[in-house]
Amino acid sequence: MASNTQDAAHGAAEAAHGSAPGMPQLDFSTFGNQIFWLAIALVAIYLILSRVALPRIAAVLAERQGTITNDLAAAEDLKAKAVEAEDAYNKALADARAEAQRIAAETRAEIQVGLDEAIAKADEQIAAKTAESEKAIGEIKAGALESVKLVAADTAEALVTALGGKADEKAIATAVADRMKG
Amino acid sequence: MGKLFFYVALALVLVSGVIFAPEHAALAIHPMDQFNVASLTGGAVGTFAITNVTLWLALAVVCVFLLMVVGSSRRAIVPGRAQSVAELTYGFIYKMVEDVAGKDGVKFFPYIMTLFMFILMANFLGLIPMSFTTTSHIAVTAILAGLVFLTVTIVGFVKNGAGFLGLFWVSSAPLALRPILAIIELISYFVRPVSHSIRLAGNVMAGHAVLKVFAGFAGALGLFSFLPIFAITAVYALEVLVAFIQAYVFTILTCVYLKDALHPSH
C-alpha cells in the first residue's frame, strides 16, 4: 500500500514535469537539488563577503576618511603655524622698535651726562681763572697803592726839602697815610 | 539622422517578419519552460546532480566575487569604476542596516549583504536571454525567507528572552482588544516568511513569463511582430527595475524584521 502511494506520487511528479503548462516551481522532485546548491552558493557568498570583500572595503573607506581627516588637520596646523609666524614677526618688529627707542634714550642720557660733566668742569675752570684773576688784580692794586704811598712820601719829602724845611720822615708817613685814607 | 535609423530598423523588422514568418503560424507559447530544472549531465535531477540551477548559482557567486573582491582589489584611495560600485553597494546596505535595524543590527551586516548581493546578482543574471532565473523558484526564495524568519526568531528570544513575546502584546491598545490583536500579530508574524518568499519569486516569475508570452506572440504574428517586440523592450526595461527593487525590498524587510527582534517593543 505504502509503495503504491509512493509510486502514485512519483507518477504525478513525472506527469507534472513532463506536461508543458505545469509550474516547474511546484515540482518538488527538484527542491532537494535547488536547496543543496543554494546552500553552497550562500555559504560561498557569505565567506567571500565576510572574509575578504567587506573588511577590505571597510578598510579602504576608513583609510580614505583618515586621509581626508589628516589632510584637514594638516591644513589647520599650517594655518596655525602661519598665524604664529605672523605673531612672531609682529613681536620681533615691536621688540626692535622698543630696542631702538631704548638705545636712543640711553645714548641721549649718556650724552647728557658727558655734557653735564663738561659744563661743570668748564664752570670750575672759569671759577678758578676768575679767582686767580681777582687775586692778581688785588695784588696789582696793593702794589699800586704801595707805589703811590712811596711816591707820595718821596714827593712830599722832596717838596719839604725844596721848601727849605727839614723833612721829618715820621710826620710825612703819617700825613701820606691820612691823605690816602681820605 | 536618428529618425532615419529608426525607420530603417522598423523596415528591417517588418521585412524579417515577412521572410522568417513560420509557414503555418502556430501559437506555440510555453512561458513556463524557462523555469524547468534540468540536469546538465543528462539523467534524473537528483539532490547532488549538476543542473542549470548549479550553473546559474555559480555564476551569481562569480559575479559577486568579481564585483566585491576583484573590483576592490586595488584598494585605491581614489576609486575606479568597479571599486566605486562595490563601495556604493557596501555603503547603501550598511546605511540601510544601521538606519532600519539600529546600531546593534550592524553585526548582522555581512549576513544581510549576502542576501542582497545574491538576490541582486541572481535577478540580473536571470535577465540575460536564455538564462535560468534561480530566484524565480519558490524553493530558493523560501529558503532565503525561512533563514531570515529563523534568524529573527532565534535572535529575538536570545536577546530578549520571554520579553520577545511583547511583540505580540500591544501594550498601547485597550486591554480588551489586546488578546485579539495578539492573535492577529501572531498570524501576521507567521505569514511573514510566506509573503517574503512569494513576493520575490512571484515578481520575478511573472515578469519573465510575460516576456515569454510576448515572444510567443512575436513568433505568431508574422508581419506585425514588431508590436510585441516593442512591448518586450518596454517590459524588459521594467524587469530591470523590478530586479533591483525586489532585491532592495527583500533586504529592507529583513532589516525591519531584525529590528523587531532587537527591539520588540512597539
The answer on pLDDT for A15 being more than 60 is no
User: Under the phi-then-psi rule, with left for phi > 0, alpha for psi from -120 to 50, and beta for the rest, what region is B102?
Assistant: left
Sign of the Cα torsion B99, B104, B105, B109 reads positive
A32: closest chain B residue by CA: B47
Instruction: Please check whether residue B152 lies inside any domain of the structure.
Output: yes
Q: Where in chain A are the domains?
A: 49-181
**ipTM (interface pTM):** 0.87
pLDDT computed for residue B29 by the predictor = 79
Q: Residue B10 in contact with residue B226, Cβ under 8 Å?
A: yes
Query: CB B47 to CB A32 under 8 A?
Result: yes
Residue B24 within any structural domain of the chain:
no
Instruction: Answer yes or no: is pLDDT of A103 > 60.
Output: yes
* B47/A40 CB distance under 8 A: no
Alpha helices in A19-53 (DSSP H): 31-47
On whether the CB atoms of residues B111 and B152 are closer than 8 A, the answer is: no
pLDDT, tens digit, 9 for 90 and up, residues A119-150? 999 999 999 999 999 999 999 998 888 888 88
Cell, residue B177: 482588544
Distance from C-alpha of A48 to C-alpha of B74, rounded to nearest angstrom: 17
Structure confidence by residue, pLDDT tens digits, A73-97 = 999 999 999 999 999 999 999 999 9
Whether B39 maps to a domain, the answer reads no
Cβ neighbors of B12 (< 8 A, separation 6 or more) are none
Q: Per residue in B61-102, pLDDT tens?
A: 999 999 999 999 988 888 999 999 999 999 999 999 999 999
Angle at A46 between CA A43 and CA A47, to 5 degrees: 85
Please report the residues numbered 36 through 55 in chain A whose beta carbons come closer than 8 angstroms to any beta carbon of chain B: 36-42, 44-46, 48-50, 52-54
Q: Name the nearest CA neighbour of B74 among A63, A60, A50, A49.
A: A60
| Alpha-carbon gap: A62 to the closest alpha carbon of chain B (Å) | 10
Q: B114 in a domain, yes or no?
A: yes
CA distance B242 to B172: 37
In a domain, B101, yes or no: yes
Q: Which of B201, B164, B202 is nearest to B185 (CA)?
A: B164
Query: Among partner residues B47, B54, B72, which is closest to A56 by beta-carbon distance?
Result: B72
Considering the domain boundaries, does residue B15 fall inside one?
A: no
For residue B53, the chain A residue with the least C-alpha distance is A34
B173 lies in which domain range? 51-262
Q: What percent of chain B has pLDDT over 90?
A: 64
* DSSP code for B39: B
Q: Which residue has the cell 649718556?
A: A110
The total domain count for chain B is: 1
Task: Tally A–B CB contacts below 8 A.
Answer: 128
Give domain status of residue B16, yes or no: no
| Residue that has been written with the C-alpha cell 670750575 in this structure | A124
Residues B125/B56, Cβ–Cβ less than 8 Å: yes
